[in-house]
A = this chain, B = another copy of it.
Amino acid sequence: MKIAIDAMGGDFAPLEIVKGIEQARDRYKDIAFQLYGTENKVKPLVQNWERIELIPTTEVIEMGDEPVKAMRRKKDSSMVQAAMAVKEGRADALFSAGNTGALLSSAIFLIGRIKGVDRPALASALPSFNGPHDQFVFMDLGANAENKPSHLYQYGILGSFYATHVLGIKNPRVRLLNNGAEEDKGDEVHKTAHMLMKNAPSFNFIGNIEARELLEGTADVVVADGFSGNAALKATEGTALMMLKQIKNAIMSSGIKGKIGGALLKPAFRDVQKKLDYNEAGGAVILGVKAPVVKTHGSAKANAVANTMGQIKTMIDNQLVLDIQTYITAHKEELQSGKEVLHAQLTD
């Protein structure tokens, strides 16, 4: 398999990207890597060219660039060229640590949506603390600012495929992020989505979930609209970081006893931090497009990049995209009838 790498995206690109790719090359013997990037910056960094190819590009999409414009105008950017390689079948998957919006645009407009998927979404595996599995799928994390109930319904399908194919969870339990557990909670979008999902033949819907329970392990797939999914994800990240910082500060300012305590607890803290640091385990996936497209955190270092290659390999090995495509094609009528149910409800 071949993975197209945007070598210029991310806070530590191209150095950490290249280092991560070399680690991954040594780890996964069946992956060949195409590095898209500025020749004089990337070339000197590669130590061993085994299964690594450099495709020189002349432009770079910056973090602050307006996504759609950047994707349209910077045609010879590392990201757009890597996306074009996937579009034209020269590579099987796309990786970037760069501008999320531009990657979304590249995925949707260049690589293209799977036919029948209305709105691709950003999905990530987050840690699950008390449940039967270590992780759960959370989506949409912000690919869309607004969603219709039928989009949320489709996320149930896409998320379930990701949970089975990549996390290895059988018959994943799907829940809808809402402002209460009862089925009549939420605004019209969430009430209607709940109704559609409740009768879903395509996945195992077990009801609403409140954001308080997100990390509790009571769901394997949590479906959210892009706006509140984004808010819940960022609140979770922000709170976790703030708490670790507060605990460190409290330790540092609590005298010699506190410092000894802190030293003794270092391994324990490290465990917690590791479990929380889900970004180390892989990146966010754009589900619903014609190939695996994965985005790691902008601050990803080599190890996170290498781990993400493992995640992409699993997606390819287990034919995630092909299976979604086949399913959606075979169930067009179900998806269509979902929309009709919806239409009937909305026009009641």
Residues on A facing B (Cβ under 8 Å): 129, 142, 145-146, 177, 179, 185-188, 190, 210-216, 224, 226-228, 230-240, 242-247, 250-251, 253-254, 257-258, 260-265, 267-269, 271-272, 275-276
Say yes or no: A238-B212 contact (C-beta < 8 A), given A145-B179, A243-B243, A268-B251. yes
Tell me whether A240 and B238 are in contact (CB under 8 A). Answer: no
Known A142-B179, A250-B268: A211·B231 in contact at CB below 8 Å: yes
Nearest CB of B to A339, in Å = 21
Given the interface contacts A227-B187, A228-B231, A231-B179, does A258 sit within 8 Å of B265 by beta carbon?
yes
CB contacts (< 8 Å) of A239 on chain B: these are 214-215, 235-236, 239-240, 243
Is A213 within 8 A of B228, CB to CB?
A: no
Distance of A275 Cα from B243 Cα, bound (Å): 10
A325 to B330, CA, bound (A): 60
A236 to B214, alpha carbons, bound, how many Å?
Answer: 10
* Closest residue of B by beta carbon distance from A250: B268
Which residue in B146, B210, B276 is a CB contact (below 8 Å) of A234?
Answer: B210
A81: min CB distance to chain B, Å: 26
Q: How far is the CA of A275 from the CA of B228 in the complex (A)?
A: 26
Q: Interface centre among A211, A234, A242, A258, by most B CB within 10 Å?
A: A242
Given A129-B242, A146-B187, A211-B232: A267 in contact with B272 (beta carbons within 8 A): no
Interface pair A212/B235, CB less than 8 Å apart? yes
**Could you say which of B231, B246, B268 contacts A129, with CB atoms under 8 Å apart?**
B246
